[in-house]
Structure 1
Amino acid sequence: MSAFELEDGWGHKKRMNLKRAWRGSLCLHLIKFIAALLIFLACVTFIVFLCMFYESVPSPSFAVLDVKFYAFNLSSTSLTSNLQITISSRHQYIESTDNNFHLDQLHIYASYRNQQITLPTMIPPTNLGSYDVNVWSPFVNGTEVPLTPDLAASLAQDKTATMPINVEVTGRVRMKSGYVASRHWLKVNCRAYIMFGNYNGSNVIGSAVKNPFDLEKACRTDVGLLEWKIFECVGTEFVN
Protein backbone atom coordinates (compact mmCIF):
# COMPACT_ATOMS: atom_id res chain seq x y z
CA MET A 1 0.00 0.00 0.00
CA SER A 2 1.39 3.39 -1.03
CA ALA A 3 1.85 6.39 1.20
CA PHE A 4 -0.82 8.25 -0.82
CA GLU A 5 -3.40 5.55 -0.14
CA LEU A 6 -2.55 5.56 3.56
CA GLU A 7 -2.87 9.33 3.69
CA ASP A 8 -6.15 9.26 1.77
CA GLY A 9 -7.57 6.54 4.05
CA TRP A 10 -6.53 8.46 7.13
CA GLY A 11 -8.01 11.65 5.72
CA HIS A 12 -11.29 9.94 4.93
CA LYS A 13 -11.51 8.54 8.43
CA LYS A 14 -10.72 11.97 9.87
CA ARG A 15 -13.45 13.58 7.77
CA MET A 16 -15.94 10.94 8.89
CA ASN A 17 -15.05 11.54 12.53
CA LEU A 18 -15.49 15.29 12.06
CA LYS A 19 -18.90 14.73 10.45
CA ARG A 20 -19.95 12.46 13.32
CA ALA A 21 -18.73 15.00 15.86
CA TRP A 22 -20.57 17.82 14.06
CA ARG A 23 -23.77 15.79 13.87
CA GLY A 24 -23.47 14.83 17.51
CA SER A 25 -22.91 18.45 18.50
CA LEU A 26 -25.88 19.56 16.37
CA CYS A 27 -28.12 16.93 17.94
CA LEU A 28 -26.94 17.91 21.41
CA HIS A 29 -27.70 21.59 20.79
CA LEU A 30 -31.07 20.65 19.30
CA ILE A 31 -31.93 18.53 22.33
CA LYS A 32 -30.90 21.37 24.66
CA PHE A 33 -33.01 23.84 22.69
CA ILE A 34 -36.07 21.57 22.77
CA ALA A 35 -35.60 20.91 26.50
CA ALA A 36 -35.27 24.64 27.23
CA LEU A 37 -38.35 25.35 25.10
CA LEU A 38 -40.38 22.71 26.93
CA ILE A 39 -39.30 24.05 30.33
CA PHE A 40 -40.21 27.59 29.23
CA LEU A 41 -43.63 26.48 27.99
CA ALA A 42 -44.23 24.52 31.19
CA CYS A 43 -43.38 27.58 33.30
CA VAL A 44 -45.64 29.82 31.22
CA THR A 45 -48.47 27.28 31.45
CA PHE A 46 -48.03 26.98 35.21
CA ILE A 47 -48.08 30.77 35.69
CA VAL A 48 -51.15 31.15 33.47
CA PHE A 49 -52.92 28.33 35.31
CA LEU A 50 -52.03 29.85 38.68
CA CYS A 51 -53.26 33.29 37.64
CA MET A 52 -56.46 31.88 36.19
CA PHE A 53 -57.07 29.79 39.30
CA TYR A 54 -56.37 32.73 41.60
CA GLU A 55 -58.62 35.07 39.65
CA SER A 56 -61.42 32.52 39.33
CA VAL A 57 -61.76 31.83 43.05
CA PRO A 58 -64.12 34.38 44.69
CA SER A 59 -63.46 35.88 48.09
CA PRO A 60 -65.94 36.27 50.95
CA SER A 61 -67.57 39.67 51.37
CA PHE A 62 -67.77 41.65 54.60
CA ALA A 63 -70.05 44.45 55.79
CA VAL A 64 -70.09 46.57 58.94
CA LEU A 65 -73.63 46.63 60.29
CA ASP A 66 -73.16 48.75 63.41
CA VAL A 67 -70.52 50.41 65.58
CA LYS A 68 -71.21 51.57 69.15
CA PHE A 69 -68.81 53.42 71.43
CA TYR A 70 -69.25 52.70 75.16
CA ALA A 71 -66.17 54.66 76.25
CA PHE A 72 -64.18 57.44 74.62
CA ASN A 73 -61.73 59.24 76.90
CA LEU A 74 -59.46 61.54 74.93
CA SER A 75 -56.53 63.53 76.25
CA SER A 76 -53.85 65.51 74.48
CA THR A 77 -51.51 62.49 74.45
CA SER A 78 -53.64 59.32 74.61
CA LEU A 79 -57.01 57.70 73.92
CA THR A 80 -58.94 55.13 75.94
CA SER A 81 -61.90 53.62 74.12
CA ASN A 82 -64.29 50.70 74.25
CA LEU A 83 -66.58 49.89 71.33
CA GLN A 84 -68.72 47.09 69.98
CA ILE A 85 -68.55 46.30 66.28
CA THR A 86 -71.16 44.25 64.47
CA ILE A 87 -69.75 42.85 61.26
CA SER A 88 -70.98 40.17 58.88
CA SER A 89 -69.39 37.89 56.30
CA ARG A 90 -71.08 35.90 53.60
CA HIS A 91 -70.44 33.86 50.50
CA GLN A 92 -70.11 36.42 47.74
CA TYR A 93 -71.37 34.22 44.89
CA ILE A 94 -74.40 32.32 46.16
CA GLU A 95 -74.87 30.67 42.75
CA SER A 96 -71.56 28.83 43.12
CA THR A 97 -71.94 25.59 45.07
CA ASP A 98 -68.38 24.36 44.48
CA ASN A 99 -66.52 27.11 46.35
CA ASN A 100 -66.32 26.97 50.13
CA PHE A 101 -64.41 29.16 52.55
CA HIS A 102 -62.90 28.51 55.95
CA LEU A 103 -61.96 31.67 57.88
CA ASP A 104 -59.50 31.44 60.75
CA GLN A 105 -56.86 33.47 62.63
CA LEU A 106 -59.28 36.40 62.43
CA HIS A 107 -58.55 39.56 64.39
CA ILE A 108 -60.55 42.79 64.35
CA TYR A 109 -59.50 46.26 65.50
CA ALA A 110 -60.30 49.93 64.90
CA SER A 111 -58.05 52.57 63.40
CA TYR A 112 -58.25 56.30 62.86
CA ARG A 113 -56.35 58.04 60.07
CA ASN A 114 -54.17 54.94 59.52
CA GLN A 115 -53.29 54.62 63.23
CA GLN A 116 -54.54 51.66 65.23
CA ILE A 117 -56.50 52.88 68.25
CA THR A 118 -57.58 49.54 69.81
CA LEU A 119 -56.03 46.18 70.49
CA PRO A 120 -56.95 43.38 68.08
CA THR A 121 -59.76 41.09 69.25
CA MET A 122 -59.97 37.50 68.02
CA ILE A 123 -63.02 36.36 66.05
CA PRO A 124 -63.98 32.65 66.18
CA PRO A 125 -63.13 30.66 63.01
CA THR A 126 -66.01 29.74 60.76
CA ASN A 127 -66.96 27.96 57.55
CA LEU A 128 -68.76 29.72 54.71
CA GLY A 129 -70.68 27.68 52.18
CA SER A 130 -73.25 28.77 49.63
CA TYR A 131 -75.98 30.99 51.11
CA ASP A 132 -74.10 31.12 54.44
CA VAL A 133 -73.95 34.38 56.43
CA ASN A 134 -72.04 34.90 59.68
CA VAL A 135 -72.48 37.84 62.05
CA TRP A 136 -70.09 38.77 64.89
CA SER A 137 -70.43 41.50 67.53
CA PRO A 138 -67.07 41.61 69.34
CA PHE A 139 -65.96 44.28 71.79
CA VAL A 140 -62.64 45.97 71.04
CA ASN A 141 -60.85 48.37 73.31
CA GLY A 142 -57.68 50.34 73.76
CA THR A 143 -56.28 51.73 77.01
CA GLU A 144 -54.21 54.92 76.93
CA VAL A 145 -53.17 54.45 73.32
CA PRO A 146 -50.48 57.08 72.64
CA LEU A 147 -51.39 59.77 70.11
CA THR A 148 -49.40 62.40 68.31
CA PRO A 149 -50.50 66.01 69.01
CA ASP A 150 -51.87 66.36 65.47
CA LEU A 151 -53.89 63.16 65.73
CA ALA A 152 -55.28 64.12 69.14
CA ALA A 153 -56.32 67.52 67.81
CA SER A 154 -57.98 65.90 64.80
CA LEU A 155 -59.87 63.48 67.04
CA ALA A 156 -61.04 66.30 69.28
CA GLN A 157 -62.30 68.22 66.27
CA ASP A 158 -64.07 65.21 64.67
CA LYS A 159 -65.68 64.36 68.02
CA THR A 160 -67.76 67.53 67.79
CA ALA A 161 -69.27 66.38 64.48
CA THR A 162 -68.86 63.02 62.76
CA MET A 163 -65.74 60.93 63.32
CA PRO A 164 -64.64 58.52 60.57
CA ILE A 165 -63.00 55.31 61.74
CA ASN A 166 -61.83 52.21 59.94
CA VAL A 167 -62.79 48.73 61.05
CA GLU A 168 -60.06 46.34 59.96
CA VAL A 169 -59.97 42.54 59.95
CA THR A 170 -56.91 40.39 59.29
CA GLY A 171 -56.66 36.62 59.07
CA ARG A 172 -56.49 33.61 56.80
CA VAL A 173 -59.02 32.16 54.39
CA ARG A 174 -58.83 28.65 52.99
CA MET A 175 -60.73 28.07 49.79
CA LYS A 176 -61.92 24.87 48.12
CA SER A 177 -62.96 24.75 44.48
CA GLY A 178 -63.41 21.27 43.04
CA TYR A 179 -60.19 19.33 43.66
CA VAL A 180 -58.08 22.43 44.30
CA ALA A 181 -57.56 23.88 47.79
CA SER A 182 -55.71 27.12 48.48
CA ARG A 183 -54.76 29.21 51.49
CA HIS A 184 -54.74 33.01 51.37
CA TRP A 185 -54.03 35.92 53.66
CA LEU A 186 -57.04 38.13 54.27
CA LYS A 187 -57.25 41.89 54.80
CA VAL A 188 -60.59 43.67 55.25
CA ASN A 189 -61.02 47.43 55.58
CA CYS A 190 -64.40 49.03 56.35
CA ARG A 191 -65.22 52.71 56.82
CA ALA A 192 -67.70 53.73 59.53
CA TYR A 193 -68.82 57.14 60.80
CA ILE A 194 -69.45 57.83 64.48
CA MET A 195 -71.97 60.44 65.59
CA PHE A 196 -71.36 61.24 69.24
CA GLY A 197 -74.22 61.88 71.62
CA ASN A 198 -76.99 60.04 73.41
CA TYR A 199 -78.33 57.15 71.32
CA ASN A 200 -82.05 56.37 71.80
CA GLY A 201 -81.89 57.38 75.44
CA SER A 202 -79.21 54.80 76.29
CA ASN A 203 -75.74 55.31 77.71
CA VAL A 204 -74.10 54.57 74.35
CA ILE A 205 -71.71 57.34 73.41
CA GLY A 206 -72.06 56.90 69.67
CA SER A 207 -73.44 54.67 66.96
CA ALA A 208 -72.89 54.25 63.25
CA VAL A 209 -75.07 52.18 60.94
CA LYS A 210 -74.03 51.48 57.37
CA ASN A 211 -76.41 52.32 54.57
CA PRO A 212 -78.37 49.06 54.00
CA PHE A 213 -78.39 49.73 50.27
CA ASP A 214 -74.62 50.04 50.14
CA LEU A 215 -73.50 47.05 52.20
CA GLU A 216 -71.88 45.36 49.22
CA LYS A 217 -69.44 48.28 48.95
CA ALA A 218 -69.06 48.83 52.69
CA CYS A 219 -65.79 46.90 53.03
CA ARG A 220 -62.80 46.36 50.84
CA THR A 221 -61.57 42.76 50.92
CA ASP A 222 -58.08 41.84 49.71
CA VAL A 223 -56.69 38.31 49.53
CA GLY A 224 -53.24 37.05 48.60
CA LEU A 225 -52.20 33.52 47.74
CA LEU A 226 -50.02 31.72 50.30
CA GLU A 227 -50.17 28.15 48.98
CA TRP A 228 -52.38 25.81 46.99
CA LYS A 229 -52.80 22.05 46.83
CA ILE A 230 -54.46 19.59 44.47
CA PHE A 231 -56.31 16.41 45.42
CA GLU A 232 -55.75 17.05 49.14
CA CYS A 233 -59.21 18.14 50.20
CA VAL A 234 -61.99 16.07 51.66
CA GLY A 235 -65.48 17.56 51.77
CA THR A 236 -65.23 21.16 52.91
CA GLU A 237 -62.20 20.60 55.12
CA PHE A 238 -58.62 21.19 54.02
CA VAL A 239 -55.49 19.22 54.69
CA ASN A 240 -52.89 21.40 56.40
Structure 2
Amino acid sequence: MQFTVVTRNPNKRVSISYEQLSAFVSYKNEAITPPVILPPLFHQTKSTVSMSPVLGGITVPVPAEVVNSLLMDQTYGVVGLRLVITGKLRYKTSVIKRRRRYGINVRCDLLVGLKQGFVGQLPLLGSPPCTVDV
Protein backbone atom coordinates (compact mmCIF):
# COMPACT_ATOMS: atom_id res chain seq x y z
CA MET A 1 0.00 0.00 0.00
CA GLN A 2 1.12 3.52 -0.62
CA PHE A 3 -0.43 6.69 0.75
CA THR A 4 0.67 10.27 0.21
CA VAL A 5 0.76 12.17 3.49
CA VAL A 6 0.96 15.96 3.40
CA THR A 7 2.19 17.69 6.55
CA ARG A 8 1.95 21.40 7.17
CA ASN A 9 3.72 23.74 9.59
CA PRO A 10 1.63 26.93 9.60
CA ASN A 11 3.72 28.54 12.34
CA LYS A 12 5.92 31.46 11.31
CA ARG A 13 8.23 31.24 14.35
CA VAL A 14 8.75 27.54 15.06
CA SER A 15 10.50 24.89 12.94
CA ILE A 16 10.04 21.20 13.71
CA SER A 17 12.36 18.23 13.30
CA TYR A 18 10.80 14.74 13.15
CA GLU A 19 12.99 11.71 13.90
CA GLN A 20 12.59 7.95 14.40
CA LEU A 21 9.47 7.95 12.24
CA SER A 22 7.74 4.70 11.36
CA ALA A 23 4.43 3.94 9.67
CA PHE A 24 2.07 0.98 9.37
CA VAL A 25 -1.53 0.26 8.36
CA SER A 26 -4.04 -1.24 10.77
CA TYR A 27 -7.51 -2.68 10.38
CA LYS A 28 -9.80 -2.82 13.42
CA ASN A 29 -6.82 -1.94 15.68
CA GLU A 30 -4.68 -4.81 14.35
CA ALA A 31 -1.54 -4.05 12.33
CA ILE A 32 -1.87 -5.56 8.84
CA THR A 33 1.49 -4.29 7.52
CA PRO A 34 4.87 -4.36 9.22
CA PRO A 35 6.21 -1.00 10.44
CA VAL A 36 8.28 0.83 7.83
CA ILE A 37 11.03 3.20 8.94
CA LEU A 38 10.68 6.65 7.37
CA PRO A 39 13.46 9.17 6.77
CA PRO A 40 13.81 12.14 9.15
CA LEU A 41 11.64 15.11 8.24
CA PHE A 42 12.37 18.79 8.82
CA HIS A 43 9.69 21.45 8.69
CA GLN A 44 10.84 24.99 8.11
CA THR A 45 8.50 27.70 9.33
CA LYS A 46 5.39 28.14 7.15
CA SER A 47 6.16 25.06 5.02
CA THR A 48 4.46 21.97 3.60
CA VAL A 49 6.16 18.60 3.13
CA SER A 50 4.73 15.44 1.55
CA MET A 51 5.85 11.83 1.77
CA SER A 52 4.60 8.65 0.12
CA PRO A 53 5.82 5.60 2.03
CA VAL A 54 5.27 2.14 0.56
CA LEU A 55 3.78 -0.09 3.26
CA GLY A 56 3.57 -3.85 3.09
CA GLY A 57 5.91 -6.60 1.99
CA ILE A 58 6.08 -9.41 4.47
CA THR A 59 2.90 -10.89 5.91
CA VAL A 60 1.80 -9.97 9.41
CA PRO A 61 -0.04 -12.53 11.56
CA VAL A 62 -3.55 -11.39 12.52
CA PRO A 63 -6.40 -13.14 14.37
CA ALA A 64 -8.89 -15.15 12.29
CA GLU A 65 -11.76 -12.81 13.18
CA VAL A 66 -9.84 -9.89 11.68
CA VAL A 67 -9.24 -11.83 8.46
CA ASN A 68 -12.93 -12.79 8.24
CA SER A 69 -14.04 -9.21 8.89
CA LEU A 70 -11.64 -7.89 6.25
CA LEU A 71 -12.96 -10.42 3.72
CA MET A 72 -16.54 -9.37 4.51
CA ASP A 73 -15.70 -5.67 4.05
CA GLN A 74 -13.96 -6.54 0.79
CA THR A 75 -17.17 -8.23 -0.38
CA TYR A 76 -19.09 -5.00 0.34
CA GLY A 77 -16.45 -3.05 -1.58
CA VAL A 78 -15.36 -0.66 1.20
CA VAL A 79 -12.63 -1.18 3.79
CA GLY A 80 -11.89 1.14 6.71
CA LEU A 81 -8.13 1.34 7.35
CA ARG A 82 -5.99 3.38 9.70
CA LEU A 83 -2.59 4.78 8.75
CA VAL A 84 -0.45 5.14 11.89
CA ILE A 85 2.76 7.18 12.03
CA THR A 86 4.83 7.33 15.21
CA GLY A 87 8.11 8.99 16.07
CA LYS A 88 9.82 11.78 17.97
CA LEU A 89 9.88 15.52 17.36
CA ARG A 90 11.93 18.50 18.47
CA TYR A 91 11.13 22.11 17.84
CA LYS A 92 13.13 25.28 17.73
CA THR A 93 12.41 28.95 17.51
CA SER A 94 14.83 31.63 16.45
CA VAL A 95 15.90 31.95 20.10
CA ILE A 96 15.17 28.60 21.80
CA LYS A 97 16.21 25.15 20.61
CA ARG A 98 14.52 22.38 22.57
CA ARG A 99 16.81 19.40 23.09
CA ARG A 100 14.05 17.32 24.59
CA ARG A 101 12.27 14.98 22.19
CA TYR A 102 8.52 14.56 22.33
CA GLY A 103 6.71 11.43 21.21
CA ILE A 104 4.23 11.85 18.37
CA ASN A 105 1.41 9.52 17.33
CA VAL A 106 -0.58 10.28 14.15
CA ARG A 107 -3.70 8.30 13.20
CA CYS A 108 -5.46 8.76 9.87
CA ASP A 109 -8.72 6.88 9.32
CA LEU A 110 -9.31 6.10 5.65
CA LEU A 111 -12.08 4.48 3.64
CA VAL A 112 -10.78 2.57 0.63
CA GLY A 113 -12.96 1.26 -2.18
CA LEU A 114 -12.24 -2.31 -3.27
CA LYS A 115 -13.49 -4.20 -6.28
CA GLN A 116 -12.98 -7.94 -6.48
CA GLY A 117 -10.21 -8.91 -8.85
CA PHE A 118 -9.03 -5.29 -9.15
CA VAL A 119 -5.28 -4.70 -9.03
CA GLY A 120 -3.73 -1.26 -9.03
CA GLN A 121 -4.76 2.12 -7.67
CA LEU A 122 -7.79 1.97 -5.37
CA PRO A 123 -10.07 4.95 -4.76
CA LEU A 124 -9.84 6.72 -1.43
CA LEU A 125 -13.49 7.20 -0.48
CA GLY A 126 -13.07 9.20 2.70
CA SER A 127 -10.25 10.82 4.61
CA PRO A 128 -11.15 12.97 7.60
CA PRO A 129 -8.36 15.00 9.20
CA CYS A 130 -5.75 12.96 11.04
CA THR A 131 -5.57 12.89 14.83
CA VAL A 132 -2.19 13.90 16.28
CA ASP A 133 -1.09 13.25 19.88
CA VAL A 134 2.18 14.72 21.20
| Structure 1 and Structure 2 fold alike (TM over 0.5) | yes
Post-superposition CA distance 1:150-197 (Å, at most 9, x none): 111111111122110100001111011332514201110000111112
Does residue 84 of structure 2 align to residue 168 of structure 1? Answer: yes
Rounded to whole Å, the distance in 2 between the matches of 1:168 and 1:135 is 15
Does residue 34 of structure 2 align to residue 119 of structure 1? Answer: yes
Post-superposition CA distance 1:46-77 (Å, at most 9, x none): xxxxxxxxxxxxxxxxxxxxxxxxxxxxxxxx
User: Does structure 2 retain, via aligned residues, the 8 Å contact 1:109–1:167?
Assistant: yes
User: Does structure 2 retain, via aligned residues, the 8 Å contact 1:197–1:205?
Assistant: no
Rounded to whole Å, the distance in 2 between the matches of 1:131 and 1:147 is 41
What secondary structure sits across from 1:167 in the alignment? strand
Post-superposition CA distance 1:140-159 (Å, at most 9, x none): 10433222221111111111
What secondary structure sits across from 2:58 in the alignment? strand
- 2:109 maps to 191
Rounded to whole Å, the distance in 2 between the matches of 1:193 and 1:185 is 27
User: Does structure 2 retain, via aligned residues, the 8 Å contact 1:117–1:142?
Assistant: no
What secondary structure sits across from 2:66 in the alignment? helix
- Describe how 1:63-212 pairs up with structure 2 within 5 A: 83-91=1-9, 94=10, 96-161=11-76, 162-177=78-93, 178-181=95-98, 182-197=100-115, 203-204=119-120, 206-208=122-124, 210=126
CA deviation after TM superposition for structure 1 residue 204, in Å: 1.1
- How many residues align structurally? 130
- Describe how 1:34-53 pairs up with structure 2 within 5 A: none
Cα pair distance change 1:144/1:128, threshold 3 Å: closer
TM-score (norm 1): 0.50
User: Does structure 1 retain, via aligned residues, the 8 Å contact 2:12–2:46?
Assistant: no
Higher helix share: 1
Identity across matched positions, percent: 25
Among 126, 130, 133, the residue aligned to 1:219 = 130
What secondary structure sits across from 1:144 in the alignment? coil
- Name structure 2 gaps, 5 residues minimum: none
Cα pair distance change 1:219/1:158, threshold 3 Å: same
- Structure of greater relative contact order (alpha carbons < 8 Å, 6+ residues apart): 2
Cα pair distance change 1:99/1:153, threshold 3 Å: same
CA deviation after TM superposition for structure 1 residue 105, in Å: 0.9
User: Does structure 1 retain, via aligned residues, the 8 Å contact 2:113–2:125?
Assistant: no
- Name structure 1 gaps, 5 residues minimum: 1-82, 212-216, 224-240
User: Does structure 1 retain, via aligned residues, the 8 Å contact 2:34–2:59?
Assistant: no
Rounded to whole Å, the distance in 1 between the matches of 2:121 and 2:115 is 5
